[in-house]
Amino acid sequence: MQAVQKVSLHLADGEALGIVGPNGAGKTTVLNLIGGTIRPDAGSIMFDGRDVTRAGSHDRCRLGFGRTFQIPRPFGGLTVYENVLVAYTYGRGGSPRRAKGDCLPVLERVDLAHKANLPAGSLTLLERKRLELARAIVTRPRVLLLDEVAGGLTDPEVAVLVALVRSLREEGVAIIWIEHIVHALLSVVDRLLALAEGRPLVEGDPAEVMASPVLRDVYLGREFDG
């Protein structure tokens, strides 16, 4: 059985694409394919005219792919700063001499500078999600892959993360965002792609996609929180 099939995406600098669909639709698999966590059996992944289909996730990170995961998994025994330093050093290939000057501004941006020396394992869920974003941001991505960064947060916490994601997009970072908190997604993305059983259902203007009878049939008439 194929987890994803006949999915074709294109993304311009500074553009944000949202992906929705029921559980098991293949959304995270799409991010894994783009980010290099898994390799496709067919098809290709192009970046700036370059075929990166066979490149690993480490190589793609150096090229400009950043990634967050649905369940944050920081290095709990390391400090918050050290977590970002690992991403800076190994993901970006940053210079040790410039590490402090490059990492601390990222922590300030996600409002974690005051916890830089605390163990990452002591952070709240919101703070772990901020750290997850910080580790991606410090690699200076051109394409940022977000997997449910708003899940499990309160409405005020979601608003904080949405503002941060929107600011990244305004700086020219292209974003592909999977999210079940639909009102958060719709406040940022330019286009929306709906998947079901690994196949595209409908793609286009976010409001039109959310109103599509095809998508609502997939959700069995479930009302979206838009």
Pairing of strands 191-196, 65-67: unpaired
Distance in angstroms (rounded) separating the CA atoms of residues 203 and 192? 6
Q: Give 130-169 pLDDT, tens digit per residue.
A: 999 999 999 999 999 999 999 888 999 999 989 999 999 9
Pairing of strands 50-51, 65-67: unpaired
**Domain with residues 1-64+141-226, CATH architecture:** 3-Layer(aba) Sandwich (3.40)
Domain ranges of the chain: 1-64+141-226, 73-138
Q: What is the pTM of this model?
A: 0.91
Q: Give 17-71 pLDDT, tens digit per residue.
A: 999 988 888 999 999 999 999 988 888 999 999 999 999 999 999 999 999 998 9
Q: Which residues contact 33 (CB under 8 A, 6 or more apart)?
A: 4, 39, 40, 45
150 strand-pairing partners: none
Q: Give 104-134 pLDDT, tens digit per residue.
A: 999 999 999 999 999 999 999 999 999 999 9
